[in-house]
Amino acid sequence: MDIRDFKAGTYKKQYEYKSFSPEAVNHEWIITDGKLSTLLSEADRKIGELKAAGRWIADIDYFIRMHIAKEAMTSSRIEGTQTTMEEALANSADILPERKDDWREVNNYITAMNAAEQELRKLPLSNRLLKNTHKMLLAGVRGRQKNPGEFRKSQNWIGPSLKEAAYIPPVHTEAEILMSDLEQFLHNDRIQVAPLLRIAIAHYQFETIHPFLDGNGRLGRLLITLYLVSQNILEKPTLYLSDFFERNRTQYYDCLTRVREKNDLGGWLRFFFAGVIETAENSVKTFEKILQLRREIESERLPRIGKRAANGRFLLGFLFRSPVVNRKELQTFLDCSESTAGRLIADFVELGILREITGYSRNRRYVFGEYIDIFNK
């Protein structure tokens, strides 16, 4: 099907409201719009550059942890959760009671992303895997009473009530059938569909089906990265679009709405491919900045602490993995005395690598601010 001929679906009359019933997507798709084809090619090229960048970075898994934390924080922010990067990376014991619920939502996302990536090594990207991931997302947080890990058995909506809903997805009896069609579409190798085109359509369809009672936005955004990794488009989960969606939130929702109401699939694809291009470029720049920071610290700052520089390099590697720490954690990692850990922390504060963030005289926490700032920007 030419995307220009796409008919998104129909509104069906239910009791006192109309739900949207989308068309199935498991078929071939063709782009005949030259500008859109060029945009898709550019997005593919940027993804290739990001994949290549990941190969020449040592300890890339350390930095991916930060990408996942940033994605978790941003994706949850779209849903109304407010957590900083410093909080997202801290231990539960260091979080104020009034901030614990938001912290749990963000850390559930981190846990779910890591578990899903591991599960992809044994299972295909399937409805079973999505349900498992959804269960982790909602464990012990807002939405935990809305059947985590199960497709919905009742009507849901986006908005304060059914009468005031901005969007009402298909009735629950259609959701299972539509999700089966979506799963088949993701794996149908009998049709020729470019991977980025396939996941762009899949993300739209997932958000349109809204198969769970809660957590659809977070899981739908996570689905994008999981698909790219599952198809080896990316070797590591290094592309996350939540930041782009959050900064362009109104346009994001408008584009999805225009597909349903105006059949404007092309408009959504242009937005999605532009997001992939910008995000991939920013991810490569982020890796470059990390490498520059590491080289600068190792060559210019650590030599200033003399014989403690060897331990300093060891500690620096740890901070790239865990940039929010306390003295006890550093003491355990370095397997050293309390006084040795204290001196090294003092050195790192003096060198501008660490800064204390609690203001307390005891139970102090330190943050590798320059590193976190790279992701905050």
Which two structure tokens, joined as six digits, stand for 273? 């491919």
Contacts of 140 (CB under 8 A, 6+ apart): 104, 108
**Domain region containing 363:** 289-376
Structural domains in the chain (count): 2
pLDDT of residue 244: 93
Instruction: Determine, yes or no, domain membership for 47.
Output: no
Question: Is residue 162 located within the same domain as residue 274?
Answer: yes
Question: Is residue 343 located within the same domain as residue 365?
Answer: yes
Question: Is residue 270 located within the same domain as residue 294?
Answer: no
Q: How far is residue 251 CA from its own chain's centroid?
A: 19
Instruction: Determine, yes or no, domain membership for 182.
Output: yes
**Dihedral sign for Cα atoms in the order 317, 318, 320, 326:** negative
Question: Is residue 164 located within the same domain as residue 252?
Answer: yes
- Kindly give the interhelix angle for 195-209 and 249-262, rounded to the nearest 10 degrees: 80
N- to C-terminal Cα separation, the chain:
40
Question: Is residue 178 located within the same domain as residue 87?
Answer: yes
pLDDT of residue 109: 86
pLDDT of residue 58: 65
| Residue that terminates a domain, selected from 256, 286, 316 | 286
For residues 202, 227, 218, 118, the Cα torsion angle rounded to the nearest 10 degrees is: 150
**CA neighbor of 357 nearest in space, from 46, 60, 90:** 90
Instruction: Determine, yes or no, domain membership for 13.
Output: yes
| Residue that terminates a domain, selected from 271, 286, 301 | 286
What 3-state DSSP class applies to 338? helix
Residues in the chain: 377
Question: Is residue 339 located within the same domain as residue 257?
Answer: no
Instruction: Determine, yes or no, domain membership for 45.
Output: no
Q: How far is residue 300 CA from its own chain's centroid?
A: 34
Which two structure tokens, joined as six digits, stand for 30? 């063709």
The answer to whether 209 and 182 have CB atoms below 8 angstroms apart is yes
- Residue 7 belongs to domain with CATH number: 1.10.3290.10
Q: In sequence order, which ranges of 148-238 are alpha helices (DSSP H)? A: 172-187, 195-209, 216-230
What are phi and psi for residue 9, nearest 5 degrees? 155, -165
pLDDT of residue 376: 80
Q: Which residues, in sequence order, are bridge partners of residue 13?
A: 18
Instruction: Determine, yes or no, domain membership for 184.
Output: yes
Q: Are strands 9-14 and 324-326 parallel, antiparallel or unpaired?
A: unpaired
Question: Is residue 211 located within the same domain as residue 264?
Answer: yes
- Residue 330 belongs to domain with CATH number: 1.10.10.10
What's the CA gap between 264 and 259, in Å, rounded? 4
pLDDT of residue 353: 96
Neighbours of 121 (CB within 10 A): 8
pLDDT tens sequence for the chain (377 residues): 899 999 999 999 998 899 999 999 999 999 999 999 999 999 999 999 999 887 777 667 767 777 788 777 787 777 776 777 777 777 777 777 777 888 888 888 888 888 998 899 888 899 999 999 999 999 888 778 888 999 999 999 999 899 899 999 999 999 999 999 999 999 999 999 999 999 999 999 999 999 999 999 989 999 999 999 999 999 888 888 988 998 999 999 999 999 999 999 999 999 999 999 999 999 899 888 988 999 999 999 999 999 889 889 989 988 988 888 888 888 888 888 888 888 999 999 999 999 998 877 777 889 999 999 998 87
pLDDT of residue 141: 80
pTM of the model: 0.90
What's the CA gap between 147 and 211, in Å, rounded? 11
**CA neighbor of 167 nearest in space, from 25, 9, 24:** 9
Instruction: Determine, yes or no, domain membership for 102.
Output: yes
pLDDT of residue 352: 95
Distances (CA, A) of 283 to 99, 247, 352: 29, 16, 25
DSSP code, position 337: -
Contacts of 86 (CB under 8 A, 6+ apart): 324, 357, 367, 372
What's the CA gap between 198 and 44, in Å, rounded? 12
| Residue that terminates a domain, selected from 237, 267, 286 | 286
Question: Is residue 146 located within the same domain as residue 271?
Answer: yes
Question: Is residue 187 located within the same domain as residue 315?
Answer: no
Instruction: Determine, yes or no, domain membership for 255.
Output: yes
